[in-house]
Structure 1
C-alpha cells in the first residue's frame, strides 16, 4: 500500500523550540515500506516500486507483520570511511540484474532508518499527532542489521546540528510534535542542510536551456542550473558578451573571470558539486 510521503520545507539555520522534535537528516533516499497480506513492497517518494532492489529489507523486525506502513530513509554505509554515502545507495538503486542485487546484499548492504509509522493493524495513523506515532513506532519496531528506528531529540535543534556538523552528516529535520502526517503547513516539517561552500568560476553556459558551467581550481565541477535569480542571470549574460572564447553544439564558453559563491551538499567521488545552489557573485 503506497501512502504519499509528507514533504519538507527548508530553513537556513538550526533552532531550539519546545514544539519540535529534531532528527538527523540521513543522506540516502526516501523510502516507504508497506507490509500487506504477508508481502513487503518498497516505494520511492516518486511512487517507483523498488521492492526488488533491497531484499535485505524484507524481514521487518515487527512482531505483528500483518499490516503496516513505515516511512524513512534508506542509505548505505561506506565500508572504508564508516560514513553514510549517497553515491553508494544510488548504485544499489540502479542495479538491474538479480545476481548483482544478491551480491550487493553482502558487498553493499543498505540500512533503512525509520522515522514514522503510517498504518498499523489495519488502522490509518496519519491523523495521529507525530509524538503518538513516534511512541507507537518505538513500541512495535525493534532493530536488526538492516532496519532500525531513527533517533530523535526534543526541543534542542542547535546542539544536534552542531553534532552532525562534526560528523559531516547532511543536516537535521525539525518536526512539530502535534503535526499530522497529511497536514503540510510551511513549518510542520523543516530541513536544515549542513551545506558546504565554495567560490567557483563560471566558464560557460548551455545554449538550449539555462545552466552555467563551473570550474573550481581549474577543474570542471559541474553545472549550476537552479536557484539563480533572474537579475543575476541577466547580469551574467550582459558581462559574458565580452568574455566569449568559443562554442560547440551544446555550450558557449567564456573566460573564467566571473566568480560565484555556491553552496552544495557534498563533493562526489568524481569531484563534482552535489546539488549546487547559487548564493552570490564574488567581485
Structure 2
C-alpha cells in the first residue's frame, strides 16, 4: 500500500446531521500514509514523498507502537493554543539539516492525528465498514501527545461544523459509517470547508 491508495473526500457545500455519518474536525496539515513493517517506518505525503527526515519525532513515536500496520492520518504542527498552524508546519517541512531539524522539533513539535487504518497486523481491513475500522484502530495503540486517535462525533454534523467555525478551524469531514475504505475520490467522505478560514498557500508535499 502506498500514497496512491489514499481515500479522498469530495467537496460538499453545507454542513448536515445524519445518524449514519461520522463527523470529524478537518485538521490543517499534511495528509500522511503511515506504514510500519518490522522496524521500518515510512511517513508518506499524498504525493508519495518520504517525510521522516523533517519529522523524526513522528517516525520515532510510530516506531514505538507494537506490530505492523498502515494508517491514514494528518500530520500537523500546533500553535500555543493547540490550533493547527499551517505556517509552522511549512517551516518544519523545509527544514533539512539534522541540527536544525532537532531544534525545530523542540520549538514546534509535530503531531499525528490518526483517523483510519488500511491494514493492522498484516490484515487488509479496507473492506470493513468505517465503524469497525475505527474500533480496530482505537484498540491498536495508546494515544499520546504525539500520536492522537481522531474519533469524531456520530450524527451531529451541524454541531461539529459550528464548533469548527467558532474555533476558526478549516472545517470538517463527514464520513459514512458503513462505508469501506476505497482508493481515490469518494462521496462516502465529504469535506465541508469553513469559508472564513484563511491560511498561507500550500507548498511542498501536497494537500488533501
Q: Shared topology, TM-score over 0.5? A: yes
Q: Which residue in the other structure is 2:205 paired with? A: none
Residue of structure 2 in register with 1:193 after alignment:
193
Instruction: Name the SS for the 2:8 alignment partner.
Output: coil
The alignment's C-alpha RMSD in Å is 1.8
Partner of 2:198: 266
Q: Kindly tell me: are residues 182 and 9 of structure 1, through their superposed partners in 2, closer, same or farther at Cα, counting changes over 3 Å?
A: same
Please state if 1:9 is matched with 2:3.
no
Shift of 1:92: 0.9
Measure the CA separation in 1 of the matches of 2:173 and 2:199. Answer: 22
Does the 8 A contact of 1:61 with 1:143 survive in 2? no
User: Which of the pair is proportionally richer in strand?
Assistant: 1
Assess if the C-alpha contact under 8 Å between 1:38 and 1:66 holds in 2: no
Match of 1:248 in 2: none
Q: Quickly say closer, same or farther: Cα 1:111–1:187, change in 2 above 3 A.
A: same
**Contact 1:32/1:71 (<8 A) preserved:** yes
* Cα deviation digits, residues 175-203 of structure 1 (max 9, x gap): 0111111166742000000112xxxxxxx
Aligned to 1:103: 103
* Contact residue 176 and residue 189 of structure 1 kept, 8 A: yes
Match of 1:59 among 58, 61, 70: 61
Query: In structure 2, how many angstroms separate the alpha carbons of the residues matched to 1:61 and 1:16?
Result: 37
2-structure distance, mates of 1:13, 1:6: 21
Hey, what does 1:163 align to over in structure 2? Answer: 163
Query: What TM-score does the superposition give when structure 2 sets the normalisation length?
Result: 0.89
In structure 2, stretches of 5+ residues that fail to align are 203-208
- Deviation of residue 145 (structure 1)? 1.9
1:122 paired residue number: 122
CA contact (8 A) 1:61 1:142 kept: no
Q: Is the 8 A contact 1:62 1:141 kept in 2?
A: no
SS of the residue corresponding to residue 112 of structure 2 reads: strand
Match of 1:93 in 2: 93
The CA distance in 1 between the partners of 2:183 and 2:56, in whole Å, is: 32
Give 4+ residue runs of structure 1 displaced > 3 Å after superposition. 183-186
How far, CA to CA, are the matches of 1:35 and 1:61 in structure 2? 7
> Partners of 2:141 and 2:27 in 1: how far apart?
19
Q: 1:13-162 maps to which residues of 2 (within 5 A)?
A: 13-57=14-58, 58-60=60-62, 65-79=66-80, 81-162=81-162
What CA distance in whole angstroms lies between the structure 2 residues aligned with 1:2 and 1:76? 23
Query: Match of 1:162, SS?
Result: helix
Q: Deviations over 1:224-265 (max 9, x none)?
A: xxxxxxxxxxxxxxxxxxxxxxxxxxxxxxxxxxxxxxxxx4
Q: Secondary structure at the match of 1:9?
A: strand
Distance 1:185 1:78 in 2: 30
Secondary structure at the counterpart of residue 190 of structure 2:
strand
Q: 1:61 to 1:136 in 2, by over 3 A?
A: farther
CA distance in 2, matches of 1:111, 1:103: 16
- If you compute each CA radius of gyration, which structure gives the higher value, 1 or 2? 1
